[in-house]
Amino acid sequence: MTALKQHAQAPERLRRPRPGPRRVRRDWRGWQFVGPFAFVFVFVFIAPLAYALWLSLFQNRLVGGNVFVGLENYRTALADPQFWDGALRVGLFLLVQVPVMLLLALIAALSIDSARLYASGLFRLVIFLPYAVPAVVAVLMWGFIYGNQFGLAADLNGLLGSDLITPFAPKWILASLGNIVTWEFVGYNMLIFYSALKTIPHELYEAAEIDGATRFQVVKAIKLPAARGAIVIATIFSIIGSFQLFNEPNVLNPLADNVITSYFTPNMYAYNLSFAGQQYNYSATIAIIMGLITAVIAYVVQLRGTRREDR
């Protein structure tokens, strides 16, 4: 404590000989360090956000031009069945796909970490590989597998003499998308979990062994608690990713006729509103509302996740 106090006094002593007025002068050195970051942050983050907010207060019509409408766009959006249709769809997607994906990733990470797996390095690489495939390529590839006229699905149906496998049917499309997203991101999440498991000190395992703990007890008492932080992070990433679902449905759209609507997910809705419908203002409104919803849910998960961690 004394050391700290002395340290705190030090600047006081240094400053004393200097004349008074200098103290008033603002010291900009800190800003010079922060400057490059602040510049980029303001221009690529704050400014677009502020501009989107500004845009969302207007309506630019083909006939009649640009008019200020206040919160009218928000009122429309909150009562827009197409927006809520998309929002509920990604909500459902989130509730089903994210737990499945994270559980698979966790199992994969635990298996690789268990030291019982032969050629674990190979498995780690292979499971991670889909993440390295560009999303568009991955989705097109899956699209060809799913194709019920030409793809693997068609061949299987032909082989079985049935028409049961229809990944593009309206009732299956969300599951088909979930499968693609899971395939893409299991490896990524596995790597997050695996790196968390790697940081566990070896003594803990030795202690567990001496205590006669079974492997499952080790997982439950040591590994999972250690990976909890990573699980919370991965969950938050996945929530954000789910709400921003866009590439996968958008790329599948031309392959799955009439099944993926222009408002299939909120992001697709916003995109189509502005690019096909020229409704930049309404599109900005949708983006802002969806951003708020995402932020709130991610924040709640973070709060809950960290509270458990403290316990």
Partner 1 sequence: MTNLKRRTILAGIPAALTTILAGIPAALTTGALAACGSSTEEAAAGKPADLDAALEKGGKLTYWTWTPSGEDQAKAFMDQYPNVEVEVVNAGTATDEYTALQNAVAAGSGAPDVAQIEYYALQQFSLSDSLVDLTQYGFADLEDQYTASTWGAVNLGGIYGLPQDSGPMVMLYNQAVFDEFGIEVPTTWDEYVAAAQALHAADPGKYLTNDAGDPGFAQPLMWQAGGHPYTVDGTDVKIDLQDEGTRRWADMWNQMLEPGLLAPISTWSDDWWKALSDGTVSSLIIGAWMPGILEGSVPDGAGDWRVAPVPSYDGSPATAENGGSAQSVLKQSKDPALAAAFLRWLNSSEESVDVFLGSGGFPSTTADLTSEEFLSVAPEYFGGQKINEVLVAASENVVPGFEYLPYQVYANSVFPDTVGTAYTELSDLNAGLTAWQETLVTYGESQGFKVN
Bridge partners, 66 (sequence order): 60
Start-to-end C-alpha separation, the chain: 29
- Please give the residues from 230 up to 249 whose contact with partner 1 meets the rule CB under 8 A: 246-247
Identify the residue whose tokens are 């004349």. 19
Which amino acid, one-letter code, is at 34?
V
Angle 280-310/81-113 helices, nearest 10 degrees? 40
User: Judged by CB under 8 A, which of 35, 48, 99, 201 binds partner 1?
Assistant: 48
- Please give the residues from 260 up to 279 whose contact with partner 1 meets the rule CB under 8 A: 261-263, 267, 270-272, 274-279
Neighbours of 295 (CB within 10 A): 12
Task: Specify the stretch interacting with partner 1 by CB under 8 A; choose among 26-34, 95-103, 180-188, 282-290.
Answer: 282-290
Stretch (H or E) spanning 52: helix 47-55
Least Cβ distance, residue 88 to partner 1 (angstroms): 16
- Please give the residues from 50 up to 79 whose contact with partner 1 meets the rule CB under 8 A: 51-52, 55, 59-64, 66
Size of site (CB under 8 A) for partner 1:
47
**What three-state secondary structure class fits 238?**
helix
Identify the residue whose tokens are 């080790």. 218
Least Cβ distance, residue 247 to partner 1 (angstroms): 6
Least Cβ distance, residue 267 to partner 1 (angstroms): 6
Least Cβ distance, residue 279 to partner 1 (angstroms): 7
Cβ nearer to partner 1, comparing 49 with 129: 49
Distance CA 146, CA 139 (A): 10
Q: Retrieve residue 7's tokens.
A: 């340290």
Binding mask 114-153 for partner 1 (x = CB under 8 A): ---------------------xx--xx------x-xx---
Of 21, 222, 292, 252, which is closest to residue 135 (Cα–Cα)? 252
When asked if residue 305 is in the footprint of partner 1 (CB under 8 A), the reply is no
**What three-state secondary structure class fits 79?**
coil
- Please give the residues from 152 up to 191 whose contact with partner 1 meets the rule CB under 8 A: 170
Task: Specify the stretch interacting with partner 1 by CB under 8 A; choose among 44-52, 203-211, 224-232, 293-301.
Answer: 44-52
168, 259 contact by CB (below 8 A): yes
| Torsion region of 290: left, alpha or beta (phi above 0 gives left; psi -120 to 50 gives alpha) | alpha
In the complex, the residues that contact partner 1 under the rule CB under 8 A are 48, 51-52, 55, 59-64, 66, 135-136, 139-140, 147, 149-150, 170, 246-247, 250-251, 254-255, 257-259, 261-263, 267, 270-272, 274-284, 287
